[in-house]
């Protein structure tokens, strides 16, 4: 498993995988998604990045930071999904 992955790549990986439908899911065809179990998503992200103290507060801070700086590019990427 690659640990050199961005948060958006990780979230997209979870969204594509049908095994994670219980913790994250698409809400529209416009690239919007919802964290159904945010703590579990944070836990998985922490495991992936080898940061075992990851929690939803830290994950949400990272999500806000990334979306403020790259929101348009990420939104366009998610809108173009074809799966």
Q: Domain residue spans in the chain?
A: 7-78
State residue 64's pLDDT score: 81
- Cross-strand partners of 33: 26
- Judge whether residue 29 has pLDDT over 80: no
State residue 11's pLDDT score: 92
State residue 70's pLDDT score: 62
In 10 A of CB 65, how many CB atoms? Answer: 11
Which uninterrupted H or E stretch holds 50? none
The whole-angstrom separation of Cα 50 and Cα 16 is 22
- Average confidence score pLDDT of the chain: 82
36-59 pLDDT per residue, tens: 999 999 999 999 999 999 999 999
In 10 A of CB 63, how many CB atoms? Answer: 17
Q: Has domain 7-78 been given CATH number 1.10.10.10?
A: yes
pTM attached to this predicted model: 0.78
């Amino acid at each position: 498993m690659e640990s050199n992955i961005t948060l958006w790549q990780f979230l997209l990986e979870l969204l594509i995988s049908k095994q994670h439908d219980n913790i994250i899911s698409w809400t529209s065809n416009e690239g919007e998604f919802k964290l159904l179990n945010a703590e579990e998503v944070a836990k998985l992200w922490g495991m992936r990045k080898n940061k075992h103290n990851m929690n939803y507060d830290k994950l949400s801070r990272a999500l806000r930071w990334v979306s403020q700086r790259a929101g348009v590019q990420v939104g366009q990427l998610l809108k173009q999904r074809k799966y």
